[in-house]
Structure 1
């Protein structure tokens, strides 16, 4: 679907859209294990990532709550390494480590510098407040965004319409197709935005091979694989 004029109103996801969450996650996990002098066996990061993605999917589907997610993933780490410390202390240390990892994805800083001259921008994230607030406030890109909405604080998460409509209200926008949501998560970012009456740009960061599932990925208006490609939809459209 083509949009016949440049987008001037942009909403961004945070993790794996603006921030390199995979790098942050790996760094935080290793640092936390080291902090408690726990082993970090080979393949630990990939094991954790697979487990954590599955738990967040359960949270998105309202099968578990955030307290259960935190407990399950910490317990799974201890089970995998065959050692344990105080669960609450470990979980808190991990989130503190994560909150200090504000690694940006390639092209984000430079692209936002250009977009900020032409566009109004904000962030919606399903992340945790303990992680997102310190990281966003410390980030070099924070001044580009008029607002950021964190699902844990608001009480609704993407893909629910409430969080999109609330975010538009904060910006003084009426939800419509002139507003572009940019994110990597197809269900939460793309389908959530479309169901809320917005346009959606899928940041296909990991270059998914759609294969037989191509029919499941037909809701987005635009697709980018490098962040700088957003300039073609906004500044240079």
Structure 2
């Protein structure tokens, strides 16, 4: 395993998206007094967000909607589910969410330990389908900046994982051949199959131990396992 660079996904791999989003949504639920408007609980609000957000991000990753549509529709769909038909309010909540959520700092266990260990051995990069402005805030707020030589986003080059082009670009940025790179991520399609399309080795991060049918896969459930592998 003569790797020279490791590319990490950010959301759901290093930065605990679910925990950070839940914290932000709890605050916004109170800030906008959503119980008074719709009579639904904060847990129902968070649960609905998870469903809607997953669906919209799946559409975004497949090129069916753009960034603006995702941001515009997310809270509109959530509030509509609870019979709150107020588009201006949904846009206000969306803006507030985009400002608040990226400042949250919950990381998966051992993130700092693992990155500190790997930093002395490999070039480290973030490779994400997230948006430039938001991802940089997450990285800075969580004190991750010093570990990485660069942050590569789909925003910056116009291609999203799993497209081969974004992985080829990452190899160019790192100045390495495909067999010298390794992708670590939580998404079987975007991260793992995407890396495979570019002939880059990969490690699937599966903290929930979700069942799947993918074969010939290196899989971990805790980031600390990387210190035994690499």
1:225 aligned onto 2:221 = yes
Aligned residue for 2:29, secondary structure, equals helix
Q: Indicate whether 1:186 and 2:183 are aligned.
A: no
* 1:89 positional shift: 2.4
- Whole-Å Cα distance in 1 between the matches of residues 96 and 133 of structure 2? 11
Tell me the residue number matched to 1:164. Answer: 167
Contact in 2 for aligned 1:158/1:164 (Cα 8 Å): yes
Aligned pair 1:101/2:98, yes or no?
Answer: no
| Aligned-partner Cα distance in 2 for 1:143–1:209 | 34
Give the match's secondary structure for 1:56. Answer: helix
Between stretches 201-210 and 77-86, larger displacement belongs to 77-86
Q: Which runs of 5+ in 2 are unaligned?
A: none
Q: Distance in 1 between matches of 2:163 and 2:207?
A: 23
1:11 & 1:80 partners in 2: Cα distance?
38
> Is the contact between residue 16 and residue 205 of structure 1 (CA under 8 Å) also seen in structure 2?
no
Q: Is the 8 A contact 1:19 1:105 kept in 2?
A: yes
Q: Does 1:35 align with 2:36?
A: no
Q: Deviations over 1:125-157 (max 9, x none)?
A: 111233211111232221110001121232211
Q: Distance in 2 between matches of 1:120 and 1:223?
A: 21
The corresponding residue for 2:120 is 117
What aligned pairs does 1:194-233 form with structure 2 within 5 A after superposition? 194-210=196-212, 214=213, 217-218=214-215, 220=217, 222-233=218-229
Comparing 71-80 with 92-101, which one deviates more in the overlay? 71-80
Greater displacement, 17-26 / 162-171 = 162-171
Is contact 2:15-2:108 (8 Å) kept?
yes
CA RMSD of aligned residues (A): 1.7
Partner of 1:52: 53
2:67 maps to 1:70? no
Number of equivalent positions:
223
Superposition deviation, residue 6 in structure 1? 5.2
1:68 is displaced (CA, Å) by 1.8
TM-score by length of 2: 0.90
Shift of 1:32: 2.1
Check the 8 A contact 1:6/1:233 in 2, yes or no. no
Is 1:20 matched up with 2:23? Answer: no
Bigger helix fraction: 2
